[in-house]
């Protein structure tokens, strides 16, 4: 069977490469691409431009990747001092990608920012700077380093079945987190400080989000799950 096609939402940022190029670029940390490919799927980058959601009809799965902060206006809040990296075009594109994937029954894995998109899309809210809430830097300990912290997973939940365990250390790098859960969302994992680390859509078994970065770790379970779900979609086409 041909590899299922999994789209990954990408950044639009100024970037430098080669000897002289310094231009606006569509980019993504390669770890996402490698993780999807290693799971047996074909990765495709989805730029944050108008009309990207039209590609979902040709995809078998979707990864909403990490990145900068979501515009707080999306969840009815004023922008706090520490909120940074807001890209309205990316917000718009990813909300549209998520809507299209759910409408067409395409499996979704939200990672870090991607999980936050999933929550905000259903009326949830975010803490804009976790150190102000939990009084520690455990969720982003060092600049540009995916340090681990422990997570407890709800037993008998969807995520526990995928991971095959209920306690793990996860590679993490985020300064925002879920506050109020959106409608139809269940929390499935928590950090020691009570911050939600994973969610599922109760009405959509094919939609799952985690606050950590599985692409930076050594556990392929989540990408294997997504690829298996994507194969099921591809087989029905």
Considering only the C-alpha atoms of the chain, give the largest distance between any 2 of them, rounded to a whole number of Å.
Answer: 54
C-alpha to C-alpha distance for 191 and 173, rounded to whole angstroms: 13
| Beta pairing partners, 169 | 150
C-alpha angle 198/200/201, rounded to 5°? 150
Residue among 171, 164, 69 nearest 126 (CA): 69
Catalytic residue among 94, 183, 213, 228: 213
- Decide: 35 and 92 in contact? Cβ < 8 Å: no
How far from the centroid of its chain's Cα atoms is residue 199's Cα? 11
C-alpha to C-alpha distance for 216 and 27, rounded to whole angstroms: 17
C-alpha to C-alpha distance for 39 and 36, rounded to whole angstroms: 5
Catalytic residue among 94, 112, 149, 206: 112
The reply to whether 213 belongs to the active site is yes
Burial of 112 (0-12, 13-18, 19+ CB in 10 A): buried
The reply to whether 215 belongs to the active site is yes
Residues with a known catalytic role: 112, 213, 215
């Amino acid at each position: 069977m041909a590899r299922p096609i999994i789209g990954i939402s990408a950044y639009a940022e100024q970037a430098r490469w080669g000897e002289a190029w310094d231009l606006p670029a569509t980019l993504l940390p390669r770890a996402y691409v490698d993780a999807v490919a290693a799971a047996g799927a074909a990765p495709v980058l989805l730029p944050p431009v108008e009309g990207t959601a039209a590609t979902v009809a040709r995809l078998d799965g979707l990864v909403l990747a990490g990145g900068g902060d979501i515009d707080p206006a999306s969840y009815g809040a004023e922008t706090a001092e520490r909120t940074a990296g807001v890209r309205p075009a990316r917000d718009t594109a990813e909300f549209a990608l998520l809507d299209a994937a759910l409408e067409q029954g395409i499996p979704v894995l939200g990672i870090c920012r991607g999980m936050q998109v999933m929550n905000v899309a259903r009326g949830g809210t975010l803490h804009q700077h976790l150190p102000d809430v939990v009084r520690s830097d455990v969720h982003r300990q060092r600049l540009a380093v995916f340090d681990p912290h422990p997570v407890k997973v709800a037993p008998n939940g969807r995520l526990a079945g995928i991971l095959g365990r209920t306690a793990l250390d996860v590679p993490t790098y985020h300064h925002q987190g879920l506050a109020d859960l959106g409608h139809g969302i269940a929390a499935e994992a928590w950090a020691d400080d009570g911050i939600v680390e994973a969610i599922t859509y109760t009405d959509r078994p094919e939609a799952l989000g985690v606050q950590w970065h599985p692409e930076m770790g050594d556990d392929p379970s989540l990408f294997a799950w997504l690829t298996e779900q994507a194969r099921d979609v591809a087989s029905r086409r």
